[in-house]
Chains A and B, each alone.
Chain A
Amino acid sequence: MDSTVATGSEENVWGGGNRPLGASYGKLMMWFFLVSDALTFSGFLAAYGFSRFKFIETWPIADEVFTHVPFFHGNFPMYYVAFMTFILIMSSVTMVLAVDAGHKMKKNAVIWYMFLTIIGGAIFVGSQAWEWATFISGDYGAVETKGGRILQFVKADTGERAALADFAKEISSDREAHERKNGIWYYDEGYQTSYNLNEVVAGLKANPNILIRTELINEEGEKTLLNREETLAKINDGVMVVEGANLVRNEYGSRLFADFFFFITGFHGFHVFSGVMINLIIFFNVILGTYEKRGHYEMVEKVGLYWHFVDLVWVFVFTFFYLV
Chain B
Amino acid sequence: MAHEHKLEIFRGLVKFKSNTSKIWGVLIFLTIVTTVEVALGIVKPAVLIQNTFLGMKILNWIFIILTLVKAYYIAWDFMHLRDEKTALRRAIVWTPIFLVAYLVFILLLEADYVYEVYKTGFVEWNF
Residues in chain A within 8 A of chain B (CB atoms): 1-2, 20-23, 28, 31, 34-35, 38-39, 42-43, 46-47, 49-58, 63, 77-79, 82, 85-86, 89-90, 92-93, 95-97, 99-100, 103, 145-147, 149, 215-216, 221, 237, 301, 304-305, 308-309, 311-312, 315-316, 318-319, 322-324
Residue pairs across A and B with Cβ atoms less than 8 A apart, 13 shown, are A20-B85, A46-B108, A49-B104, A56-B115, A86-B31, A147-B127, A305-B79, A308-B74, A315-B74, A316-B67, A319-B64, A319-B67, A324-B60
Question: Known contacts A93-B24, A147-B127: does B88 contact A221 (CB below 8 Å)?
Answer: no
Decide: A237 and B127 in contact? CB cutoff 8 A: yes
**Per-position contact with A for B96-112: 1 when CB-CB < 8 Å, else 0?**
10011001100110111
Decide: B96 and A309 in contact? CB cutoff 8 A: no
Decide: A39 and B67 in contact? CB cutoff 8 A: no
- Rounded to whole angstroms, the CA-CA distance of A103 and B104 in the bound complex is 39
**Per-position contact with A for B54-68: 1 when CB-CB < 8 Å, else 0?**
000000100110010
Decide: A54 and B95 in contact? CB cutoff 8 A: no
Question: Known contacts A43-B103, A100-B20, A149-B127: does B108 contact A53 (CB below 8 Å)?
Answer: yes
Decide: B103 and A147 in contact? CB cutoff 8 A: no
Question: Known contacts A54-B115, A315-B67: does B100 contact A42 (CB below 8 Å)?
Answer: yes
Question: Known contacts A53-B108, A146-B127, A315-B71: does B99 contact A39 (CB below 8 Å)?
Answer: yes
Decide: B84 and A23 in contact? CB cutoff 8 A: yes
Checking B20, B95, B104 against A35 with a beta-carbon cut-off of 8 angstroms, the contacting residue is B95
Checking A54, A99, A312 against B74 with a beta-carbon cut-off of 8 angstroms, the contacting residue is A312
Q: In B83-98, which residues have CB < 8 Å from any A CB?
A: 84-85, 87-88, 91-92, 95-96
Decide: B92 and A31 in contact? CB cutoff 8 A: yes
Residue of A nearest to B111 (CB): A53
Question: Known contacts A42-B96, A43-B103, A237-B127: does B108 contact A324 (CB below 8 Å)?
Answer: no
Residue of A nearest to B83 (CB): A22
Decide: B100 and A92 in contact? CB cutoff 8 A: no
Min CB–CB distance B55 → chain A (angstroms): 11
Decide: B78 and A323 in contact? CB cutoff 8 A: no
The majority secondary structure among interface residues of chain B is helix
Residue of B nearest to A21 (CB): B88
A-B contact count (CB 8 A): 150
- Rounded to whole angstroms, the CA-CA distance of A22 and B119 in the bound complex is 54
Collect the chain A residues with CB atoms within 8 Å of residue B51's CB: none
Most buried by B among A49, A96, A215, A301: A96
Residue of B nearest to A146 (CB): B127
- Rounded to whole angstroms, the CA-CA distance of A63 and B66 in the bound complex is 19
Collect the chain A residues with CB atoms within 8 Å of residue B95's CB: 35
- Rounded to whole angstroms, the CA-CA distance of A216 and B118 in the bound complex is 14
Checking B1, B23, B88 against A100 with a beta-carbon cut-off of 8 angstroms, the contacting residue is B23
- Rounded to whole angstroms, the CA-CA distance of A89 and B37 in the bound complex is 15
Checking B20, B31, B100, B119 against A97 with a beta-carbon cut-off of 8 angstroms, the contacting residue is B20
- Rounded to whole angstroms, the CA-CA distance of A312 and B73 in the bound complex is 10
Decide: A22 and B85 in contact? CB cutoff 8 A: yes
B3 CB–A CB distance under 8 Å? yes
Residue of B nearest to A214 (CB): B126
Min CB–CB distance B44 → chain A (angstroms): 8
- Rounded to whole angstroms, the CA-CA distance of A53 and B106 in the bound complex is 12
